[in-house]
Structure 1
Amino acid sequence: MKIHKTLSVICLTLFAYTFTFAQQDFQGKAYYASKTTIDMDGFGSPDMSADRKKAMMERMKSFLEKSYILTFNKTESIYTEEEQLAAPGASQGRGFGAMMSSFSAGDQYKNVQTNQLLQEQEFFGKQFLIKDSLPQLKWKMTGETKQIGQYLAMKATAMKPVDKMDFRSMRPNRGGAADKKADSAKVNKPIKEIEVPKEIEVTAWYTMQIPVNQGPGEYWGLPGLILEINADRTTILCTKIVLNPAEKETIKEPKKGKEVTKEEYTETVLKKMEEMREMYGGRGGRGGGRRR
């Protein structure tokens, strides 16, 4: 009975929105807030004080809390980070902090008709244009619903492979030799101090009131706009939607940077990270080379 009631509500809602999305020049803008939490107990030296960890979190806030705008039509979207003032000292530091300050993501373009994903990315002063196909997540519908603002949202889950360079899922490598052996089949290790899970569960909440195959970041593939994503330690939540804004924007493919594949870009970053590890002397070293 509950399922029939839900279906009736969805059908009535979709009928009410049919005219809006029938327009040939339809466009929308969705505003998202992204927040990532990090376990600071595993980073830095074991004797680091609570005050120093708190200060480090403040410096990293610009990396962990971001705002984005997704401009979309029926087949294309462009995902742009809103500019914000960095926290004092955010671009300073060594090791992990210095590495994170070197990343600067540009616009991300998705075309669900051509299955294309383009990402502008700056890394250590070099501009790249990463060309890839859209990730194919196997979404499972749960039948659960909730209200997000004025929209009825439906829940879907999927297992997502984790990119080696996705800092949002990076964890300190605490295990000893026995633990490393046990985890070797489960974990990729870009550098010795950090580990990344091979896959994570993603929960998405989408609305069929906006029947476009789009969502924030690399997420897409559901029969409605994705309003919320929960992936490991990251939550992305839609805070505002504007349909058919008075001033429409032209959604263009990014062109800036050296064209590379995702694999080529990852290889470049891993090489640079290894150079940095050598520079800072591996685990806890202070010199410019490796300690024996």
Structure 2
Amino acid sequence: MKKILLFIVTCLLHFSSTQAQDFQGKAIYLSKTSVGDFNFGGREISEEQKKRFMARMKEQSEKTFILTFDKTAAIYEEEEKLETPGRDNGGRGGFRFGDFSGGKLYKNIKDQNYAKESEMFGKVFLIKDDLKQLNWTMGSETKKIGNYTCYKATAIQAIDSTGFDSLRKRRDSERKKEEKEDVVTKDSTKSKVSMFKEREEPKEIEITAWFTPEIPVSQGPGEYWGLPGLILEVNAGNTVLLCTKIVLNTDEKIAIEAPTKGKVISQQEYNETLLLKMEEMSERFRGGNRGSGGNSNRGRN
């Protein structure tokens, strides 16, 4: 541990003596998320449909992000990709992948706050909230990521009860409880089976990060920050973020400024609004299907 601290101090002194005040860098991260198992809501679909669906999910779970940073602030955003012509962007009817999208995430570690643009069903929101600091525990393990020597740090992160996934699962649980208390038909019960196999969700997860003091800025991908060096890799639950390229002090400087467009809203308010909108879309989709079925029956009578 003493060797790690000595190395960090040495890097800080070297950085301070060699870098100009307008220091800026850019890091490219590859994000991969395991999508888990599916039972397709108990519906029977062809193997070709399954392959197309899983290929689309894989594409959505593998993304490239760019982190542009200086000594106190950073912009984190997804690399722009052109959509394949003719693609329906998630399927016909109901919720589609393109119905909401996240924009730039601005993180200011000096003021410990963030701002993020997000578009939801055609409306732009500006999420503003405080950065959450993890209680990092420094390890003694090291490894090379590219040309940089990285040190291991871990933290236990409680699952945010106000986060979108937590709100969705809580709402699903309440709905299932209500369904058990009501008298429902077999067909209506089947229509509400989840596409995801049910499993007990953890209340906390372990975060493993690898940071390099050779770039002594307290930044990292996404929501991660707070270590004495740039975070180059994060393992969190079923998501891995890995830095694939770093560029420091290029001639082209990018303005690292907080976004300003959109209706200002807190993260919790945004999560609750998103969940409500998705439920409304889902109800309209189910209602449309029931209406089509009813018209078909009336036509046969």
Shorter chain as denominator, the TM-score bin is: 0.7 to 0.9
Read off the aligned partner of 2:276 and give its amino acid letter.
K
Higher relative contact order (CA 8 A, sep 6+): 2
**Aligned 8 A contact 1:90 1:101 in 2:** no
Structure 2 residue 285 is matched with structure 1 residue 286: no
Pick aligned residue for 2:147 from 146, 150, 155: 150
Read off the aligned partner of 1:91 and give its amino acid letter.
N
**Aligned 8 A contact 2:41 2:193 in 1:** no
Read off the aligned partner of 2:252 and give its amino acid letter.
E
Judging by fraction of residues, say which structure has more helix: 2
* 2:124 paired residue number: 127
Give how far 1:247 is off: 1.1
When residues 154 and 133 of structure 1 are mapped into structure 2, their CA distance, relative to the original with a 3 A threshold, is same
Read off the aligned partner of 1:165 and give its amino acid letter.
F
Structure 2 CA distance, aligned partners of 1:286 and 1:197? Answer: 35
* 1:106 paired residue number: 103
* 2:21 paired residue number: 24
* 1:182 paired residue number: none
* 1:183 paired residue number: none
SS at match of 2:227: coil
Q: Work out the percentage of aligned pairs sharing the same amino acid.
A: 50
Q: TM-score, normalised by structure 2?
A: 0.77
Pick aligned residue for 2:265 from 247, 260, 264: 260
Count of residue pairs brought into register by the alignment = 268
Deviations 1:122-147 (A, max 9, x none): 01111000000001211122221111
When residues 55 and 76 of structure 1 are mapped into structure 2, their CA distance, relative to the original with a 3 A threshold, is same
SS at match of 2:48: helix
Give how far 1:46 is off: 4.8
Judging by fraction of residues, say which structure has more strand: 1
Which structure 2 residue ranges, 5 or more long, are not aligned? 178-191, 295-301
When residues 61 and 95 of structure 1 are mapped into structure 2, their CA distance, relative to the original with a 3 A threshold, is farther
**Aligned 8 A contact 2:27 2:68 in 1:** yes
Structure 1 CA distance, aligned partners of 2:164 and 2:138? Answer: 29
Structure 2 residue 204 is matched with structure 1 residue 199: yes
* 1:210 paired residue number: 215
Structure 2 residue 241 is matched with structure 1 residue 236: yes
Which has the higher Rg, Structure 1 or Structure 2? 2
Deviations 1:63-107 (A, max 9, x none): 2121111111110101121111235635131578x3432121100
* 1:93 paired residue number: 91
Structure 1 CA distance, aligned partners of 2:76 and 2:165? Answer: 17
**Aligned 8 A contact 2:72 2:108 in 1:** yes
When residues 104 and 158 of structure 1 are mapped into structure 2, their CA distance, relative to the original with a 3 A threshold, is same
SS at match of 2:38: helix
Structure 1 CA distance, aligned partners of 2:289 and 2:163? Answer: 26
Which structure 1 residue ranges, 5 or more long, are not aligned? 179-190
When residues 8 and 223 of structure 1 are mapped into structure 2, their CA distance, relative to the original with a 3 A threshold, is closer
Q: TM-score, normalised by structure 1?
A: 0.79
When residues 6 and 149 of structure 1 are mapped into structure 2, their CA distance, relative to the original with a 3 A threshold, is same
When residues 115 and 8 of structure 1 are mapped into structure 2, their CA distance, relative to the original with a 3 A threshold, is closer
Structure 2 CA distance, aligned partners of 1:153 and 1:255? Answer: 35
Pick aligned residue for 1:53 from 50, 54, 62: 50
